[in-house]
Amino acid sequence: MKLSAGLCKTSPEAPKGNVFNIQRFSLHDGPGIRSVVFFQGCHMRCAWCCNPESWAQARGASTQSAITLDAVRKEVARDVPYYLVSGGGVTLSGGEVMLQAPFARALLESLSAEGIHTAIETAGFAPWSVVKNVANNPTESVSLAYESITWLYLDGNISYTDSWNQRVVA
């Protein structure tokens, strides 16, 4: 793992993202000890959602600004010693990661280039080409919440989510 004081700076043109939390020392979102970057925004509105505070596309305060790749990398770099001893890394979760695909892809590439294990937790609420682009190399683990929602589409029922899920199950 190379990520440390030698963080390489990203270009000013690098995408920015809306993140509502970076949780450190997580044990349930992938192998080892992890930092979880929770993305802001989700259209699914699942009844069982663990993070309903993430639903709004932009965070409540009008002063909320997008976070840079460097700011996220600086925060997760604090836990590199834990990743090393536990086989952990960084998980992108949400909200829906795929709603901020360019930022997610750039963050995953950046972390992977530094030797950090990456994972995504997603409902896959995006065209398959977007999901494939983000989840394809360099991501080492993808958890797709698919099995829980397939029956909702088959029944034509949106009572457990606030959105039709044809995009996810197609």
For each of the chain's 170 residues, which pLDDT tens digit applies?
655 444 556 666 788 999 999 999 999 888 999 999 999 988 777 777 777 777 777 655 434 568 999 999 999 999 999 999 999 999 999 888 888 999 999 999 999 999 999 988 887 778 888 888 887 766 565 655 543 444 444 444 455 555 554 554 44
Among residues 52, 25, 22, which one has the least CA distance to residue 38?
A: 22
Among residues 42, 4, 36, which one has the least CA distance to residue 23?
A: 36
DSSP class of residue 140?
S
Residue 143: how many other CB atoms lie within 10 Å: 13
User: What fold, for 19-169?
Assistant: TIM Barrel (3.20.20)
d(CA 77, CA 100): 22
DSSP class of residue 133?
H
